[in-house]
């Protein structure tokens, strides 16, 4: 069951097939390699100007990455709206039961996690989409190494939070 | 290609992430705690189908409109391991990887604003530190960047 409207999640095989189809069509129709976290560099480069954010790969890809990122927000909005209406949500499932912080605590927790995501994905050169879905499919060594690394980091951290720090 | 096409691709991708559990805190923690198979099933299915599709497309060598396919593998360097691990920590803390940060925001999950702010600050921070990290992590020359994701 999902936090969003307590929906039943789509079957994993259907979801995986749809994500593969969208990724394949994006390459076949538009010649773009799926990758989401790089789009955050495009966003940053609109306000911050460091040599890293000025490289051609970023300045030359605003035209597709920025609308794609906007689409992701829209996809979430549409999903909520079609499932029973859009409304602000503060529910955080397991976190509420086990940790139970209020809005300010959640925002701070998420900000800290976000810092790790931002620095980590840029350092690794990709995230679950570019390395995970695309890079693994393309049998790229960098992607297999990165995916194993982020899965390890996640497994270790979640277990430290829920099985060690909060073990009762 | 029109920006609307990319927005449409993003919307479809985001919708599936939202409905599949890839943008759900409990599903992500359940994956990392080995309580739920869902996310492993999604990634495995996507890769199992995308791999032959990609193999065929590379052999074919052209897009639907006859352009030569442009595909560069991502560079391999120690940042894959260190950065990957750091990203994994962040994914477990927030229950979101980069796409789902935006999907959660669209769904109305207000706390995703915190995650988005963190990701943007982290991204800018890495950019500011790039020249200093370049040598220890053997990152590519700046012209190339670390590849896209």
Concatenated DSSP letters of chain B? --HHHHHHHHHHHHHHHHHHTTT-HHHHHHHHTTS--HHHHHHHHHHHHHHHHHHHHHHH-B-TTSPBP---PPPPSTHHHHHHHHHHHHHHHHS--HHHHHHHHHHTBTTHHHHHHHHHHHHHHHHHHHHHHHTTTTPPPTTTTT---
* b/e B98-124 (16+ beta carbons within 10 angstroms → b): bbbbbbbbbbbbebbbbbbbbbbbbbb
Here the tokens at position A93 are: 């499932």
Name the 3-class secondary structure at A89: strand
Looking at the structure, tell me whether residues A12 and A83 fall in a common domain. Answer: yes
- Chain A: residue nearest B99 by CA? A36
Looking at the structure, tell me whether residues A70 and A6 fall in a common domain. Answer: yes
Residue B98: which of B50, B146, B149 has the closest Cα?
A: B149
Looking at the structure, tell me whether residues A83 and A44 fall in a common domain. Answer: yes
The answer to whether the beta carbons of residues B32 and A116 sit under 8 Å apart is no
Phi then psi for A90, rounded to 5 degrees?
-115, -5
Here the tokens at position B122 are: 């982290």
Other beta carbons within 10 Å of B57: 18
Per-residue model confidence (pLDDT) at position B15: 98
Per-residue model confidence (pLDDT) at position B105: 98
The beta-carbon neighbor of A123 closest among B83, B91, B142 is B83
The beta-carbon neighbor of B145 closest among A55, A78, A136 is A55
Per-residue model confidence (pLDDT) at position B70: 87
A69: domain range? Answer: 1-87
Per-residue model confidence (pLDDT) at position B145: 46
Per-residue model confidence (pLDDT) at position B144: 47
Looking at the structure, tell me whether residues A13 and A83 fall in a common domain. Answer: yes
Would the CB atoms of A90 and B20 count as touching at under 8 Å?
no
Looking at the structure, tell me whether residues A52 and A69 fall in a common domain. Answer: yes
How far apart CA A96 and CA B102 sit, in angstroms, is 21
Looking at the structure, tell me whether residues A59 and A116 fall in a common domain. Answer: no
Residues in chain B with pLDDT < 70?
143-149
CA–centroid distance for B82 within its chain: 16
Which H or E run includes A72?
helix A62-84
Report yes or no: A49 at the B interface, CB cutoff 8 Å: no
The answer to whether the beta carbons of residues A136 and B42 sit under 8 Å apart is no
Residue B13 buriedness (CB in 10 A; 0-12 / 13-18 / 19+) = buried
- Chain B: residue nearest A108 by CA? B114
User: Which of B30, B122, B144 best probes binding to A when mutated, by most A CB atoms within 10 angstroms?
Assistant: B122
The answer for A139, left when phi > 0, alpha when psi is -120 to 50, beta otherwise, is left
Residues in chain A with pLDDT < 50?
none
Would the CB atoms of B16 and A15 count as touching at under 8 Å?
yes
Would the CB atoms of B29 and A52 count as touching at under 8 Å?
no
Instruction: Write down which residue in A71, A87, A103 finishes a domain.
Output: A87
Report yes or no: A102 at the B interface, CB cutoff 8 Å: no
How far apart CA A26 and CA B16 sit, in angstroms, is 15
The answer for A9, left when phi > 0, alpha when psi is -120 to 50, beta otherwise, is beta
Here the tokens at position B5 are: 């096409």
How far apart CA B37 and CA B40 sit, in angstroms, is 5
Residue B17: which of A3, A72, A92 has the closest Cα?
A: A72
Domain count, chain A: 2
Looking at the structure, tell me whether residues A99 and A21 fall in a common domain. Answer: no
Other beta carbons within 10 Å of A77: 20
Looking at the structure, tell me whether residues A164 and A95 fall in a common domain. Answer: yes
Looking at the structure, tell me whether residues A83 and A134 fall in a common domain. Answer: no
Q: What is the mean pLDDT of chain A?
A: 97
Looking at the structure, tell me whether residues A106 and A158 fall in a common domain. Answer: yes
Which residues of A fall within a CB distance of 8 Å from B132? Answer: none
Would the CB atoms of A15 and B42 count as touching at under 8 Å?
yes
Which residues of B fall within a CB distance of 8 Å from A72? Answer: 10-11, 13-14, 17, 99, 102-103, 106
- Chain B: residue nearest A91 by CA? B109
């Amino acid at each position: 069951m999902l936090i969003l409207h307590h929906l039943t999640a789509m079957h994993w095989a259907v979801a995986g097939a749809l994500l593969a189809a969208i990724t394949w069509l994006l390459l076949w129709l538009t010649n773009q390699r799926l990758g989401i976290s790089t789009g955050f560099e495009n966003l940053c480069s609109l306000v911050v100007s460091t040599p890293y954010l000025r490289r051609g790969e970023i300045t030359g890809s605003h035209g597709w990455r920025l609308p794609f990122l906007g689409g992701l927000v829209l996809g979430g909005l549409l999903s909520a709206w079609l499932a029973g209406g859009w409304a602000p949500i503060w529910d955080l499932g397991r976190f509420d039961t086990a940790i139970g912080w209020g809005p300010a605590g959640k925002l701070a927790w998420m900000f800290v996690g976000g810092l790790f995501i931002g620095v980590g994905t840029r350092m690794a050169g990709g995230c679950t989409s570019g390395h995970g879905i695309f890079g693994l499919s393309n049998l790229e060594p960098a992607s297999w190494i990165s995916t194993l690394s982020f899965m390890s980091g996640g497994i270790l951290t979640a277990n430290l939070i829920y099985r060690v720090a909060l073990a009762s | 290609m029109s920006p609307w096409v990319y927005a449409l691709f993003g919307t479809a991708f985001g919708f599936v992430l939202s409905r599949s559990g890839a943008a759900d805190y409990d599903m992500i923690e359940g994956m990392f705690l080995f309580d739920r198979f869902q996310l492993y099933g999604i990634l495995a299915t996507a890769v199992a189908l995308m791999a032959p599709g990609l193999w065929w497309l590379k052999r074919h060598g052209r897009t639907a409109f006859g352009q030569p396919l442009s595909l560069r593998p991502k560079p391999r360097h120690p940042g894959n391991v260190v950065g990957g691990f750091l990203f994994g920590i962040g994914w477990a803390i927030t229950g979101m990887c980069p796409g789902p940060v935006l999907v959660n925001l669209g769904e109305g999950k207000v706390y995703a604003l915190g995650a988005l702010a963190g990701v943007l600050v982290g991204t800018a921070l890495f950019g500011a530190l790039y020249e200093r990290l370049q040598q220890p992590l053997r990152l590519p020359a700046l012209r190339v960047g670390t590849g896209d994701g």
